[in-house]
Structure 1
Amino acid sequence: MSASPILITGGAQRLGRHCAERLIDEGHPVIVSYRREREALEALRRRGVVTLQADFDSQAGIEDFLERLKAETSSLRAIVHNASDWAPDVAGPEAGDNFERLFRVHMLAPYLINLGARELLEACSEPMRDIVHMTDFVASKGSRKHAAYAASKAGLENLTLSFAAMYAPSIQVNAIAPAMIMLNEDDDEAYAEKARAKSAMGLIPGPGVIHQSLRYLLDNRYVTGITLPVDGGRHLR
């Protein structure tokens, strides 16, 4: 249990929401950022989660979020950079704008938040303080249809190394690189079967494996600068 809250960006849905709920179950105070209002946010608020709207599409939006975060709390136990946008590549004049937006969400926001919130982490009275970057399996493999997404997630993995070196030994900085973890509501069984076949384990495991991986990083005092793959052995295919 932590007295200082854990920040999860993009914590209103899917993996971020699941981790927020499990951390609350374990007694940790949690702050989540969200881009737009969702029904799930009310359920989180009823459980005591602090919710802060954030627009990471611009540097001004990131800096505004940082100011409101500092007004909300004087310390943080950990930052989990989960905010993400699985946007496909586009052709034509919008291609550059698409790439820049993914860069801001996946790289600039974590970069500026890590710099701006360092004082909040160092103010935590506990011996362990963590930053966790949520990257992606495709960061090491590339993607035919999501090249900008894959490149920006690869950049986030590299930021893991830099911040781990900069912030050691007081703050540990690691990454988690998931592959297919959970289905969308409109995914059919044919899609699910194809997705299962991509991993050696033949599973779509659900978000619990990400919470387990996050707990490992939060609990281990001797791990920093690594990317933890959670991909069911896709690299073996």
Structure 2
Amino acid sequence: MPAAPAPRPRTVLVTGAARRLGRAIALHLAGAGWQVAVHYRSSQQDALDTVAACAALGPASAHFAADFEDEAAARALLPRVLEHFGAVDAVVNSASLFEHDDVHTFSYPALARHLASNTGAPIVLAQALHAHLLARAEAGEAEAQGVVVNLLDQKLWNQNPDFLSYTLSKAALEAAGTMLALALAPRCRVVGVAPGLTLTSHLLSQERFAQLHALSPLGRSSTPEDIASAVRFALDNRALTGTTLLVDGGQHLMRFERDFSLM
């Protein structure tokens, strides 16, 4: 008898995968055998570098640009990935707009931009993945299953007045995760992963970052590898949906008066 064809590699779209945490997630999943669609907004060279690194670790990778403040661009993204790879099994929503405002500087435009990028786009991508899974099931793939993983933030459980629009957009995404888990079952699971302080930025020196990273019950917050492995766990565990994994060394259990970047 002829040998059975090899199973199709699973394909994941990782948004914001050109740099920082999204890149770490993309590389981790590529190393676990996933085909990775690398989304980016404007960092094309970084996206190309991520694609090359993913392709060296896993079966295949490709890059796709989209500005998530543009609804049409967000809605067109998954069909473009499908055109390239043929099927998609998961979406990891890592892309995030993170601009500072507070109650004194809050504006409608700032809130609208954060909601579009951080809440609207993940919902649109979950909607598109579910429609794709239903189409596969109708075409005879009875076990067509998918997963959406939304990157949240431990500060939802430990709020402070900084980054008001960003925090509201992530709170809305956390609430949407519950509703989507109910609406898209049983074809599509929806899981949140909430990091603690994971990477430094231009707002923090390396020394200050190390000090803040240690402020947790475990004496360490999350690393990019911690978050990437939690995302992989969420993708693989078929009993998880409608919940959030807080991967932060317990930082959400402590009280912080300001955002880490402003401490």
- After TM superposition, the score normalised by the length of structure 2 is 0.81
Structure 1: 5+ residue stretches without partners: none
Displacement, 1:202?
1.9
Aligned to 1:113: 125
Identity %: 27
State the distance in 2 between where 1:189 and 1:24 align: 29
Contact 1:74 1:120 in 2 (8 A): no
Aligned to 2:69: 57
Among candidates 83, 89, 93, match of residue 77 of structure 1: 89
Aligned to 1:4: 10
Displacement, 1:235?
3.0
Partner amino acid, structure 1, of 2:172: G
Partner amino acid, structure 2, of 1:228: L
Contact 2:154 2:195 in 1 (8 A): yes
Contact 2:189 2:241 in 1 (8 A): yes
State the distance in 1 between where 2:168 and 2:231 align: 23
The answer on 1:86 being equivalent to 2:92 is no
Displacement, 1:101?
0.3
State the distance in 1 between where 2:118 and 2:251 align: 23
Aligned to 2:159: 142
State the distance in 1 between where 2:170 and 2:50 align: 27
Aligned to 2:42: 36
Pair 192,131 (structure 1): closer, same or farther in 2 beyond 3 Å: same
Displacement, 1:2?
5.8
Displacement, 1:98?
1.1
State the distance in 2 between where 1:231 and 1:150 align: 17
Aligned to 1:23: 29
Alignment of 1:148-227 (within 5 A): 148-184=165-201, 187-227=204-244
State the distance in 1 between where 2:127 and 2:201 align: 34
Structure 1 residues 149-158 or 74-83, which shifts more? 74-83
Partner amino acid, structure 1, of 2:41: R
The answer on 1:13 being equivalent to 2:19 is yes
- After TM superposition, the score normalised by the length of structure 1 is 0.89
Contact 1:181 1:206 in 2 (8 A): yes
Pair 73,121 (structure 1): closer, same or farther in 2 beyond 3 Å: farther
Count of residues paired in the alignment = 237
Aligned to 2:258: none
Contact 1:128 1:221 in 2 (8 A): no
Displacement, 1:128?
4.2
Contact 2:37 2:64 in 1 (8 A): yes
Pair 187,67 (structure 1): closer, same or farther in 2 beyond 3 Å: same
Structure 2: 5+ residue stretches without partners: 1-6, 255-263
Alignment of 1:96-111 (within 5 A): 96-111=108-123
Contact 1:178 1:231 in 2 (8 A): yes
Pair 162,205 (structure 1): closer, same or farther in 2 beyond 3 Å: closer
**Larger Rg, first or second structure (1 or 2):** 2
Displacement, 1:120?
2.5
Contact 1:142 1:151 in 2 (8 A): no
State the distance in 2 between where 1:157 and 1:107 align: 9
Partner amino acid, structure 1, of 2:10: S
Pair 94,24 (structure 1): closer, same or farther in 2 beyond 3 Å: same
State the distance in 2 between where 1:142 and 1:170 align: 33
